[in-house]
Structure 1
Amino acid sequence: MSHSNTPDQPLLDASSLDAEALYRKLSQQVKTALQGASNVAIVGIHSGGAWLAERLADELQLSERLGFIDVSFYRDDFSEKGLRSDVKPSQIPFDVEGSTILLVDDVLYTGRTTRAAINELFDYGRPARILLAALVDRGDRELPIAADFLAGTVKLDKQQSLQLQRADDGGFSLTVVHA
């Protein structure tokens, strides 16, 4: 199974991000790479990554091997950030041991959320492999983490964040939020 890591993505304009087009690009990368792979499961990181994972699992016919992680308790900056009011329980309804896990997040930034998600996954068992899919990479990594599948790259100021929204019809949109 091969996949393409695409670090040299063209920089996207943050003011005109098309989340649906980015999703289609990410979905195509994932489908191509996972074609013929066995024992694949998808785990989405709450909340945006969970929405993306749900749609990917549906397209890949992996709904029985779909899980969700909320990394709130696993973050190394938990004491600084505190507990959010919308913490959800993690749900991993399949055997992680020996699985190829596609870990899905909406925005890759410092790498801390990804690290926390990997730590939590190992509490459920030892996967054979973990692949990371992210809709958008905004750079400024604090940990040596890179996406295996990536739809786009955007540069934002430190006081900005990128938020994925899901409409009632399931469609995605991205918004730049100023702190």
Structure 2
Amino acid sequence: MQKKTLLDGQKIQITIKRLCHQLIENHDDFANTVLIGIQPRGIFLADRIHQELETILKNKKILKGNLDITFFRDDFRRKDGLVTASSNSIDFIIEGKKVILIDDVLWTGRTIRAALDALLAYGRPEKVELLVLIDRRFSRHLPIEPDYIGHQVDSLNSQQVKVTWASEGAEDKVILLSESTDKNNK
């Protein structure tokens, strides 16, 4: 397995700050905007974005929630074994609000489609935008594009993008994993 580091520690922090400043440009004081992290992996990025925004905006209260999409996925019945859902953590109504959906990696678009369906249980938003740390271009199954992108990567379907976070006990890092084609590396 070959590993290529796409982002790590300081680069991730700079990317998060840039994304936050882009959000502030478009949403000003967040009076009518909420952040929603998509479970399981998007919540770590949503937490970091939320924390950075409150620091930049001098502890302004910004609403943030976590959305589980397990039973809205189009492939959940295809998995072997029992499917375990996470709990939703949205203690506000999104009716008429601007929603920023946050996920770590955008690949096929199916996770985002499921999130859009799940989101409707909390009301009808005025607008929905998508923020991702990594955009794997050229691999979409659905016509979904992010509004805010941390980093774009052109990758093969056989490759995997893995994001780890310090809050999980690892280090802040994004790596691209590829199968080794060299027989000596196997």
TM-score category, normalised to shorter length: 0.7 to 0.9
- When structure 1 is superposed on structure 2, of 21-30 and 134-143 the one drifting more is 21-30
1:122 alignment counterpart = 120
> Which digits, 9 at most, give the CA deviation of each residue in 1:77-104, with x for residues without a partner?
2222357766311111111111111100
1:174 aligns with 2:163: no
1:54–1:63 contact (8 Å) kept in structure 2 = no
Q: Label 1:110 to 1:15 Cα distance change in 2 as closer, same or farther (>3 A).
A: same
User: Match of 2:148?
Assistant: 149
TM-score between both structures, scaled by the size of structure 2: 0.78
Contact 1:72-1:83 at 8 Å conserved across structures: no
Please, which moves more after superposition, 18-27 or 90-99? 18-27
C-alpha contact (below 8 Å) 2:161/2:174 kept by paired residues: yes
Measured after TM superposition, the shift of residue 30 of structure 1 is: 1.8
Cα distance in 1 between the residues matched to 2:28 and 2:67: 24
- What RMSD in Å do the two structures reach over aligned CA positions? 2.5
Q: 1:141 to 1:63 in 2, by over 3 A?
A: farther
Q: Is the 8 A contact 1:165 1:173 kept in 2?
A: yes
Structure 2: state its 5+ residue gaps.
Answer: 55-59, 180-186
Letter in 2 for 1:79: R
User: How many residue pairs are counted as aligned between the two chains?
Assistant: 166
Residue 165 of structure 1 pairs with residue 164 of structure 2? yes
**TM superposition score normalised by structure 1:** 0.81
Secondary structure of the 2:4 match is helix
* SS of corresponding position for 1:18: strand
Verify: 1:32 aligned to 2:25, yes or no.
yes
Separation (CA, whole Å) in 1 of partners of 2:145 and 2:78: 25
What is the rounded CA distance, in whole Å, between the counterparts of 1:53 and 1:92 in structure 2? 13
Write the mapping of 1:1-80 to structure 2, written as runs, cut at 5 A. Answer: 15-19=4-8, 20=12, 21-61=14-54, 65-80=63-78
Q: Give yes or no for contact 1:48–1:165 (8 Å, CA) kept in 2.
A: no
Q: Secondary structure at the match of 1:15?
A: strand
Equivalent position SS for 2:125: coil
Shift of 1:158: 1.3
Q: Residue deviations 1:44-88, cap 9 Å, x none?
A: 012331111112122223665110012111111222235776631
**Structure 1 residues 89 and 35, CA gap change in structure 2 (3 angstroms):** same
Unaligned 5+ runs, structure 1: 1-13
The answer to whether the 8 A contact 1:57-1:63 is kept is no
Give the whole-Å Cα distance in 2 for the aligned partners of 1:152 and 1:30: 16
- When residues 138 and 93 of structure 1 are mapped into structure 2, their CA distance, relative to the original with a 3 A threshold, is same
